[in-house]
Amino acid sequence: MLMRSPVKRFVIRWIVCVLGLWIAAGFLSGGINYDGNAGIIVIAGLVLAVVNTLIKPLVVLLSLPAILFSLGLFMIVINGLMVMLVAWLYDPLEVSGFGAAMLTGVIIGVVNYLVTAIVEDIK
């Protein structure tokens, strides 16, 4: 029931992106920089949620051969590209390089998995 509404699903996606960015900034000291301002992480999480909702499906569709050939590992590259796109669109969020962006994408994916598991258990 909790996951039925598109608005609720988007808010959960936003929260996951915020949590993932915050955790990544903690683990990758210097890889993700937000000047200690929580507002920057919240807005960057919103931008990432919008990018993941609107742009990522098209990128995944266009790169389906690479995803299949790599047995899904190319999704790590796509996630890194989405993080880099957010850093480009929203200047206060700084990503030091593509490696940091890919690791951030992996961290967000793990957070997404954990949050989804918890939300599914609540149902």
pLDDT in tens, 100-121: 999 999 999 999 899 888 877 7
- Residues written for the chain: 123
Strand partners of residue 71: none
Q: How many CB atoms lie within 10 A of CB 98?
A: 13
Section 37-61 average pLDDT = 95
**Residue 35 buriedness (CB in 10 A; 0-12 / 13-18 / 19+):** exposed
Q: How does residue 2 score in pLDDT terms, banded at 50, 70 and 90? A: very low
Contacts (Cβ under 8 Å, ≥6 apart) of 82? 48, 51, 52, 55, 56, 59, 105
